[in-house]
Amino acid sequence: MASKESLGIFGEFEYYVTFAKDGSKYTSFQLEKSHAKQSSRASTRSDDSTLIVLDSLKSGIGRTENNDFYSIVIAPILEELNWNHNYIKTTSHDSVSQFAQSLDPLQDYEIWIISGDTTISEFCNNLPNKKITRNPLRILPLPMGTGNAWANSLGFDSPITAFRNYLNHNLKPRDIPLYRAALPNGYSIIFFMIFSLGFHANLLHACEDPKYAKMGAERFQIAAQSILESYSLDLDISLDGLRRSYAYFALINTPNLEATYKPSPRSNPLERELRLLGYSSSLGRQELVEKIMQGYQNKPNGDLPTNEDMIYKSITHDFTLVLNDSLEDSSMHKFEICCDGILLNLLDYQSPDKHKPSNEIRFQFLNDYSGFQLQVYSL
């Protein structure tokens, strides 16, 4: 069944978007307009920064003739408003990184990203590092991925919501809190949503199986069952003076991981704080599932109970994580990492000196990063 939402009045017309979904997947968009009872002034942008629309074509279930949000909705509106912009669509696995590396730190940019979480993470991790003037680079996330954790946590439950609020001047740019995870071989990755080990990381790795490729958020439920049945979920982790054995371990800066899934209700994507959310490996499988599924019931800003089976802790300073399991004798699944949708394994990032294996990951709260002042539009 199709739904309809207004974008606003521009000139003599009021514009609407009719859309259809199959579960979490957008299957079609259609732009409509009708004469408005009262015309409005032409909508203008607040500055003269370079406007770029970056479209990650394979995010979510990919683009079709019917669900191409840029061609169907954005392009006609920008033409009506007479806003100059560049449109860039991904053509290969490294399109996003190449685009990010090409940006000039001496320019101001506004970049609308039609994608899921991973594309935004890849973009931020590949920005030039020349710290010259730190010109503004403002991001508007237009969620078309699978989970859309960041956009949902910022209040954008759909690309229509984000686009409408921008056009109607309801958004303000805010600095993005950023964190760095440094692995044993010196490789580091920037993140701003989630760093996980255990169940969540294993789940994201499992969902890379081609058989899940065309599914939406439903793939998580199917893959989760396989992990619960066949994986050893007992990670021995030391962090911030605390050593515990976890089945689920996550450092989170967003309340949501999906539109309706809120595992860390006290997290705020615009505050410099990570929340350690962990469930004990001593929990039975059914108890673990109940703890994980509680995220569908949590209320905004609600607190979570903590006991010997669960930890929910605020961290606001640099720290080191030690994964105490043996690098040589443990299953590779114990070392799977998910960092804002980018998938890694600690075993692949060891020092070249094979006599010095390391199970440490160092985390840093960043005061600045890249040649830009990174900001995101939010309500």
Whichever domain contains 146, its CATH number is 3.40.50.10330
Q: Is 1 contained in some domain?
A: no
In terms of residue numbers, what domain contains 246? 179-366
Same domain, 144 and 241: no
Last residue of a domain, one of 170, 187, 210: 170
Same domain, 196 and 141: no
Same domain, 216 and 286: yes
Q: Give the number of other Cβ atoms within 10 Å of residue 333's Cβ.
A: 19
Q: Is 218 contained in some domain?
A: yes
Cβ density class 347-375: b for 16+ within 10 Å, e for less? bebbeeeeeeebbebebebbeebbbbbbb
Last residue of a domain, one of 170, 193, 217: 170
Cβ density class 277-310: b for 16+ within 10 Å, e for less? bbbbbebeeeebeebbebbeebeeeeebeeeebb
Q: Is 11 contained in some domain?
A: no
Same domain, 186 and 105: no
**How many domains is the chain built from?**
2
CB neighbour list of residue 335: distance below 8 Å, 6 or more residues apart? 197, 323, 325, 327, 345, 346, 347
Same domain, 218 and 314: yes
Per-residue pLDDT of the chain (379 residues; tens, 9 = 90+): 789 999 999 888 899 999 999 887 899 999 999 998 877 766 778 778 999 999 999 898 889 999 999 999 999 999 999 999 999 999 999 999 999 999 998 999 999 999 999 999 999 999 998 766 789 999 999 999 988 999 999 999 999 999 999 999 999 999 999 999 999 999 999 999 999 999 999 998 988 888 776 676 677 788 888 899 888 899 999 999 999 999 999 999 999 999 999 999 999 999 999 999 999 999 999 999 999 999 999 999 998 988 999 999 999 999 999 999 999 889 999 999 999 999 999 999 998 877 778 999 999 999 888 889 999 999 9
CA–CA distance, 33 with 4 (Å, rounded to integer): 12
DSSP state of 176: P
Same domain, 220 and 81: no
**CATH value at residue 286:** 2.60.200.40
Last residue of a domain, one of 127, 151, 170: 170
Q: Is 242 contained in some domain?
A: yes
Which helix H or strand E contains 198, and what residues bound it? strand 194-198
Same domain, 159 and 187: no
Same domain, 164 and 270: no
Same domain, 140 and 106: yes
Same domain, 194 and 129: no
Same domain, 287 and 185: yes
Same domain, 204 and 327: yes
CA–CA distance, 172 with 379 (Å, rounded to integer): 6
Q: What is the pTM of this model?
A: 0.93
